[in-house]
Structures are given as structure tokens and as C-alpha cells.
Amino acid sequence: MKERAILLVLLLGMSACAKRAVDAPASGAAAVPSGAVLTEVSGGKQVTRIGALLDQPVVVQLNDAQGTAIPGAVLSLSGAQGVKFDPASGPTDATGQFTTLVSAPGTSGRFQLLASTTDGKVQLKVEQVALGYEQLLGRQLSNQYCVRCHDPESTPERVSNMDNLDPKPHAFTEGDTYNKFSDADLTAIIGHGGPALNKASSMPPFGFTLSPSEIQALTSYIRAISDPPYSDTTRVYASK
């Protein structure tokens, strides 16, 4: 009887030690205080082709409730099937930041990355866009014919003409503007110019420059990068 009592005490002691080992944070990892917040530093809303590495790394930062960076806390990232990270987890640096390289999945469309602390209590979603073949063709056409007027940023290769036009053209990412147009509207204004929809004549017609399939590709690209995302409300599905 005495031996059984001793054995029971030993088993209970081993169980308590095992529980403490499971509950303990990773060796050397900083504790994450209540009220901590993850913020995006850079790398969100990038556009790339399916399966490709994003041009810029994704950088997130962990702060406490007062906005002070938390170094040494372990973060992990996850995403849709096919999304790859390098690395997928690790500690924040001295500035509270964690940096990772991200490869898009093999399917087109928007995809989200989820950054979180090891306990999952602090999370941040970062959105990206993967382009399929048609949308990628649309981006190439946009770079060739459209960005000089529809992109406000100048580059060493091109000077933006947006500020010289009145009315000023809208960037293709402006979903609040382009989401109001149907696909037929976009096809008309690209092919026949602004006057086709009673818009500015400074928008020239591209119907003799682009084929119907290229105009469709350009429309598909505009839909893909729209912010907020485009939702086709014209489709009607039969009820069962």
C-alpha cells in the first residue's frame, strides 16, 4: 500500500512537470504582453504572376499596447495552399520586425497571408494578388499603353503624365471608380475612347491598336488589382 502511494506521488509529479514544459514559451523567446499589436511595415498589396516570388519582402512589426517594439518574440506566417514563405517563422529583430520572402500560389486571384504570434492571440492579415495568364497579358498591355496616364508615379524609364491632364485619369487600382463600370463599359471606353461613355476625350480609343482579346485581358487585369475588390453584381444565379 505504501509503495502504491509513493508511485502515485511520483506519477503526479511527472505529469505536472510535463505540463509546465508544454506551457512554457520557446527557449529564449520574448513573452508577448496583453494588448500587443501586429502591424504591416511593407510588402502588402503586391501584384505578381502565379507561382512567382513577390518583388518585395513582407515585413511586419510587433508592438506592445504603448506602441513600443517587442524584440525576440516568435512569429509565424501561413497562407492559402501553395503559398511559400522563406522563412515561415522566426523571432522579431531588435526593432520588433520580422521579414519574409513570399511566393504566390499556383492559382490566380487575391490571397491572404496570416502573421501571428505562437499562441495565435495576436494576428494580422496581409493581402496580395496573383495574376493568371490573361491578367498578366493585361498588365503588359497596361505597362505599354496605359501607365503613363493612369499611374501617378514617375520612374527612370517613364515620366507620369497624369498631372498634366484635366480631368485627371484614375489609377487602375481605384475600385471605387472602376467597380461602377460593367465589363461592357470598360470594353467600350478602352476600344472607343472616353466619349463612348460621355467621359473625357483625353482618353483615346484603342480599338484599332488592341485586339478584342487584348482589350478583354486589360479589363481582366483592372478587375484583378481593383481596391476594394471588384464584385460582379450583374450575375444572376437560378435558385434550386
Using the predicted structure, report yes or no on whether residue 238 has a pLDDT greater than 80. no
pLDDT of 45 reads 95
Give the model's confidence band at 128: pLDDT under 50 very low, under 70 low, under 90 confident, else very high. Answer: very high
Using the predicted structure, report yes or no on whether residue 34 has a pLDDT greater than 90. no
| C-alpha cell read off for 125 | 492579415
pLDDT of 10 reads 43
Q: Which range marks the domain in which residue 63 is found?
A: 37-131
β partners of residue 77:
115
- Report how far apart the first and last C-alpha atoms of the chain are (Å, whole number): 71
- CA torsion 160-200-216-230 (nearest 10°) is 80
- Domain total of the chain: 2
Cα 26 to Cα 31, 93, 97: the distances in Å are: 9, 16, 18
Per-residue exposure over 190-212, b if at least 16 CB sit within 10 Å of its own CB, e if not: bbebbebeeeeeebebbbeebee
Flag whether 19 is in a domain.
Answer: no
Cα 44 to Cα 85, 98, 195: the distances in Å are: 14, 14, 36
- Per-residue pLDDT of 57-104, as tens digits, reads 999 999 999 999 999 999 999 999 999 999 999 999 999 999 999 999
Q: What is the mean pLDDT of residues 112-129?
A: 96
| C-alpha cell read off for 33 | 504582453
Statement to judge: residues 155 and 217 lie in one domain: yes
pLDDT of 149 reads 93
- Per-residue pLDDT of 187-221, as tens digits, reads 999 999 999 999 999 999 999 999 999 999 999 99
Give the model's confidence band at 5: pLDDT under 50 very low, under 70 low, under 90 confident, else very high. Answer: very low
Statement to judge: residues 82 and 121 lie in one domain: yes
Using the predicted structure, report yes or no on whether residue 24 has a pLDDT greater than 60. no
77: CATH: 2.60.40.10
Q: Which residues contact 105 (CB under 8 A, 6 or more apart)?
A: 50, 51, 79, 80, 81, 82, 83, 111, 130
Statement to judge: residues 80 and 142 lie in one domain: no
Q: Tell me how far apart the alpha carbons of residues 86 and 99 are, in angstroms, rounded to a whole number.
A: 9
**pTM of the predicted model as reported, rounded to 2 decimal places:** 0.80
Statement to judge: residues 152 and 209 lie in one domain: yes
Give the model's confidence band at 133: pLDDT under 50 very low, under 70 low, under 90 confident, else very high. Answer: very high
Statement to judge: residues 117 and 139 lie in one domain: no
